[in-house]
Structure 1
Amino acid sequence: MKVVVAMDSLKGSLTSMEAGDAIKESILNVDSTCEVIVKPLADGGEGTTAALVAGMGGVMETLSVTGPIFEKVEAHFGLLPLSNTAIIEMAEAAGLPQVPASFRNPLVTTTYGVGEMIKHCVEAGMRKFIVGIGGSATNDAGIGMLMALGYRFLDESGNEVSQGGQGLAHIVSIDESKVLPALKECEFKIACDVNNPLYGLNGAAHIYGPQKGATPEIVEALDKGLMSFADVVTKHKGEDFSQRPGAGAAGGLGFAFTAFLNGTLESGIKIILEETKLEEALKDADLVFTGEGRLDNQTAMGKAPIGVAKLAKKYNLPVIGIAGALAKEAKMCNVEGIDAYFSIVNAAMSLEDAMDKTKARENMVQTVEQIFQLIHVFQTK
């Protein structure tokens, strides 16, 4: 029997691979002849780098870069040397938690550190990039990132504009003469699960600016700057990228990747499932385990475990869901491809105890052993 396991992390407790390996141990405890394939799983957001690095034989690295308010921050990223792939989460260099509440102002915050991460990886020989762009503190349309890569954004006097959203309205021309040449060899896949355009009432400033510290006045200024910059880029590139779905993601970083780096914006889950080659493992499988910390209506609306389930159903495979907690609405997951689901919490305990890494692993092993015992009974009859 071949079983494929693709677990998202149980946040604050087990990582994706720790959860998957615990399920593998459970299955082999019951039937040592089973083939169990464990794949990392994430949705392109927090934890994606760690999951892919652990599951695909990569290495984690740390780089000191310019943070969103120009103080140095330690940014963590992953490298997969065999495929020359870098895995980056922009929030490591320009994330909202890195900015104290009293300093949050997207007129000022910059994505420069994101560009420093990319430049470092390119110079290290990486040519393929998977970039998560959630959790940003910025609304600079990616000009900070692009400046770090050699792009120059000039005002009417021919001087470089200030970083941050405040610089956008002053850009009248773009100089690409000093851009890192190797960028032409690079492929960028951007994990993006929002469809906002760059500007307008549904754009980056109006929808996401307030949570980054923007007052109504700042929102208006940012939106005008984004519109002005979009016009300059359209004239420079001969194409309007501003209304593409996802252009407004991460304060316009989605726009920067598509317009300047030929990036593609895709569902984070889709990217992860493709990169881990999950479908290849499913083609001749007999059973699938997936899950996350909590199964609820948000899971059913398309989170990572449902991505796994839908892919499994392409091959008519039974899918079992495993979670720490189960909401009443979790039954919606049955409609979306998870045939049955179970909680690993097997006794009354505090949340702290339930999330303890050692305890969670023990609970995972005990629960899945019994699930597989039942499967084994029917299989051997």
Structure 2
Amino acid sequence: MKILIAPDKFKGALNAHEVAENIAKGLRDVLPDTKIDIVPMADGGEGTAEVICGAQACTWLQCKAHDPLGREIGARYAWIEDAKLAVMEMSEAAGMRRLTQSERDPLQANTFGIGEMILDAANRGANEIIIGLGGSATNDGGFGMARALGFRFLAHEHELRGAVTELAGLERIQKPKDLILPKIIAAVDVKNPLLGKNGATRVFGPQKGVTKDQIDKLERALTRLADVVAEEFGFDYRDKAGAGAAGGLGFGLMSFCGAKIRPGFDVVAEAVGLEAKIKDADVVITGEGSLDRQTLEGKTPAGVARLARQLGKRVFAIVGRASTDREVREIFDGVSENTRPGMSREENMKRAAELLRENARGLAYDL
């Protein structure tokens, strides 16, 4: 029997490789002679560059950039020389991890550092850039990124460079004259549009610190940005699936960089050769920290399960915790949870490795 282990990270506890290794250890305790293949996965969220880099011959490059509040940082991204391919994550420059809890300020936080990373890769001769859109601290629609690329945002001939809410007064956008960018793929794990009840601000803003009284201000600002882009450039991506990813950075990448939005799972699956690995396996095991309705919206376990089903393979999930949602659970042949009765979320995360091994041993007896 051949078993393929293809999980995502357990956010805040273990990266995807650590998750896979602990599942493998548990399986080997019971099935020592079974052939086990490991392929850490991601879906456009944090960890995407690391997973793709781990599957291909790559080096890590560092460039000067700015964090969401404008402080100078060193930002790294993966470089695959043979393909002249850069793989980066927006969270490296503009992620929540760059800020303390008290520093979260979605009116001031911006994506300027993403533009700097894109320019660095372009100046190195990149043929293609993949950008994972996850873990953002921003809600600026790509306003900061575009400014780093040379776009100027004007109101009464005054250039807007401050808070996102300044965009409510935007009158026109001036394009840079000599900007040449490679093909850019925005890898997303959500399908939200830019605006409205399912848009970037209302759905994801609160977790970044957006207060109730700021929601309408940010919505007006991003609406005006989309209106002026449509007027000046002749296209309108506000309703495109994924436009609302990373605080509207999906919209910004399409509008200012000509980027193509793709499901992050598909991008990663291609890069790591997942389909061929599943074909070669008898059983597939996937997982992530939380299995719920969001899983069905393009997250790794759902993508792995879909592909395994298409290829006629049994597929199981080992997760931190899972909802009782029947539709979510039915895409797997079985679901094992690390959560135990009376266990706190903190303890679940702290003991993640141990519990993964325990669940893998239990699953091994049933295979």
TM-score normalised according to structure 2 size: 0.82
CA distance in 2, matches of 1:220, 1:94: 23
CA contact 1:17–1:54 (8 Å) conserved in 2: no
Letter in 2 for 1:229: L
Letter in 2 for 1:286: D
The 3 A distance-change label for structure 1 pair 233 and 344 is: closer
Q: Residue 333 of structure 2: which of 339, 343, 346 is its match?
A: 339
The residue that corresponds to 2:40 in the other structure is 40
CA contact 2:112–2:144 (8 Å) conserved in 1: yes
The 3 A distance-change label for structure 1 pair 105 and 278 is: same
CA contact 2:204–2:247 (8 Å) conserved in 1: yes
Letter in 1 for 2:333: D
Of structures 1 and 2, the larger Rg is shown by 1
The residue that corresponds to 2:52 in the other structure is 52
Q: Residue 324 of structure 2: which of 296, 321, 329 is its match?
A: 329
CA distance in 2, matches of 1:209, 1:56: 35
Q: Residue 191 of structure 2: which of 194, 207, 210 is its match?
A: 194
Runs of 5+ unmatched residues, structure 2: none
The residue that corresponds to 1:73 in the other structure is 73
CA distance in 2, matches of 1:329, 1:152: 49
Q: CA deviation at 1:274?
A: 2.8
Paired residue secondary structure (2:39): strand
CA contact 1:192–1:265 (8 Å) conserved in 2: no
CA distance in 1, matches of 2:263, 2:106: 25
The residue that corresponds to 2:128 in the other structure is 128
The residue that corresponds to 2:14 in the other structure is 14
CA distance in 1, matches of 2:6, 2:334: 15
Q: CA deviation at 1:45?
A: 1.6
CA distance in 2, matches of 1:373, 1:316: 21
Q: CA deviation at 1:278?
A: 0.9
Q: CA deviation at 1:69?
A: 1.4
The residue that corresponds to 1:160 in the other structure is 159
Paired residue secondary structure (1:292): coil
TM-score normalised according to structure 1 size: 0.80
Q: CA deviation at 1:2?
A: 3.3
Letter in 1 for 2:159: E
Runs of 5+ unmatched residues, structure 1: 376-381
CA distance in 2, matches of 1:92, 1:343: 30
Q: Deviations over 1:304-331 (max 9, x none)?
A: 21221111010111113234x4547276
CA distance in 2, matches of 1:139, 1:366: 40
- 1:129-144 correspondence runs (5 A): 129-144=129-144
CA distance in 1, matches of 2:56, 2:71: 32
- 1:249-328 correspondence runs (5 A): 249-295=245-291, 299=295, 303-323=299-319, 325-327=320-322
Q: CA deviation at 1:225?
A: 2.9
Q: CA deviation at 1:251?
A: 2.9
Q: Deviations over 1:189-239 (max 9, x none)?
A: 331403223x45554445444554455554434333323322322232222
Range that drifts further, 134-143 or 308-317: 134-143
The residue that corresponds to 1:379 in the other structure is none
The root-mean-square deviation of aligned C-alpha atoms, in Å, is: 3.5
Paired residue secondary structure (2:160): coil
CA distance in 2, matches of 1:140, 1:83: 31
Letter in 1 for 2:286: T
Range that drifts further, 308-317 or 95-104: 95-104
Q: CA deviation at 1:281?
A: 1.8
The 3 A distance-change label for structure 1 pair 126 and 353 is: same
Give the number of the structure with larger relative contact order, counting CA–CA contacts within 8 Å between residues 6 or more apart: 2
CA contact 2:188–2:264 (8 Å) conserved in 1: yes
The 3 A distance-change label for structure 1 pair 161 and 298 is: closer
Q: CA deviation at 1:100?
A: 4.9
Letter in 1 for 2:164: G
Q: CA deviation at 1:302?
A: 5.7
Paired residue secondary structure (1:135): coil
Q: CA deviation at 1:146?
A: 1.5
The 3 A distance-change label for structure 1 pair 171 and 308 is: same
Paired residue secondary structure (2:185): strand
Q: CA deviation at 1:125?
A: 3.3
CA contact 2:77–2:89 (8 Å) conserved in 1: yes
The question of 1:174 aligning with 2:170 is answered no
The 3 A distance-change label for structure 1 pair 290 and 229 is: closer
CA distance in 1, matches of 2:293, 2:237: 33
The residue that corresponds to 1:88 in the other structure is 88
CA distance in 2, matches of 1:178, 1:152: 14
Alignment identity in percent?
34
CA distance in 2, matches of 1:341, 1:140: 38
Paired residue secondary structure (1:195): coil
The question of 1:245 aligning with 2:245 is answered no
CA distance in 1, matches of 2:353, 2:95: 31
Letter in 2 for 1:145: M
CA contact 1:5–1:289 (8 Å) conserved in 2: yes
Q: Deviations over 1:123-176 (max 9, x none)?
A: 23333222222333333221211121232333442x532144144223413222
The 3 A distance-change label for structure 1 pair 139 and 306 is: closer
